Amino acid sequence: MNYKLRKKYLGVDWGEKRIGLALGDSETKVATPFRTAGDMAELVKVVKGEEIDVVVVGRPVPISNFQFFSRAGEAQTISKQFEKFVDELKSKINIPVELIDERLSSKAADALPGDKKTKAGRDEIAAMLILQSYLDKI
């Protein structure tokens, strides 16, 4: 029987401008900040390069009546843009994509001790908190 005992996880803090990433595994169940991706192509490259088994994406909490305008000038909500991101990600990778509530992960990242010189960026820390929350439940 050829199966992998240790699974590698990638935590994702999606944002309109940046995608924070964190790594973890089923053996240690500890998430660590990894890096920031600028776009989908970079994210997919990380998934493949790091041999990720499961991607854990933090789902933004809907903000009522919050809209932005797409490049085409169409009004969209954050949740629609997020769903488009998740659908595109699922179409480009052949591994499970788990969604979890990311409520306040960025605020929690800001509250951690340290300064810009001593800790990872806000997006990577938010991704770490998202992934750690998931790892704590499995």
Domain boundaries, the chain: 8-137
pLDDT score for 67: 52
CA distance 9 to 26: 8
pLDDT score for 76: 56
What is the three-class DSSP state of 81? helix
14 beta partners: 19
β-pairing, 19-25 vs 8-14, is antiparallel
pTM of the full structure: 0.81
- Show the DSSP H helices in 8-62 as ranges: 40-49
Q: Does domain 8-137 have CATH number 3.30.70.260?
A: no
What residue has token string 């998931």? Answer: 134
pLDDT score for 137: 94
Measured in whole angstroms, how far is the alpha carbon of residue 33 from the centre of its chain?
Answer: 11
pLDDT score for 101: 82
114: pLDDT strictly greater than 90: no
pLDDT score for 1: 47
Q: What is the mean pLDDT of residues 10-37?
A: 95
CA distance 78 to 102: 14
pLDDT score for 111: 63
pLDDT tens-place string over residues 37-89: 999 999 999 999 999 999 999 998 755 545 555 556 554 566 888 999 999 99
5: pLDDT strictly greater than 80: yes
